[in-house]
Amino acid sequence: MCTLESNAAFKIEQPPETYIYHLEIVADAVAAISSDNCLRLIDPLLLNGPPLHVVQDIHAGVTCLKSWDDQNAIVCTAGRDGKVNIFDCRAKTKVAGMTVGRAGSDFIFCF
């Protein structure tokens, strides 16, 4: 049996007790959605450092993250608010958004 040891870890410091829902590899980074409704881009080679970029309030209740293109530069997020947002991780910006359900319903969109 082989024993593995961690040599680095990413932790969200603020707000306290925030946890990551899902990770996707994107371009030269890792995209993460978390319980504070943020999308973070993380440098996989510098996990102990701060995120490369943080997009706050991407949804009221983010639930899903999916890399969308062959180059892994575009990601889509979905949430309990009935919306789907599309982000370009290279430009670090939201490029599109659409409403596909009703906010406050039991609607949860996943890819």
Contacts of 3 (CB under 8 A, 6+ apart): none
Locate 42 and state its tokens.
């993380």
Taking Cα atoms as reference points, which of 62, 63, 43, 64 lies closest to residue 52?
A: 43
pLDDT of residue 58: 92
Alpha-carbon distance 99 to 82, whole Å?
Answer: 6
Look at residue 4 and tell me if it is in a domain: no
The list of the chain residues with pLDDT below 70 reads: 101-111
Do the domain assignments include residue 107?
A: no
Number of domains in the chain: 1
1 part of a folded domain: no
Report the alpha-carbon distance of residue 88 to residue 73 in Å, rounded: 6
pLDDT at 64: 92
Q: What angle do CA 45, 23, 97 make, to 5 degrees?
A: 120
Residue 83 lies in a domain: yes
Q: What is the number of residues in the chain?
A: 111
Q: Tell me the C-alpha distance between 30 and 8, whole Å.
A: 14
Quick check: is 2 in a domain?
A: no
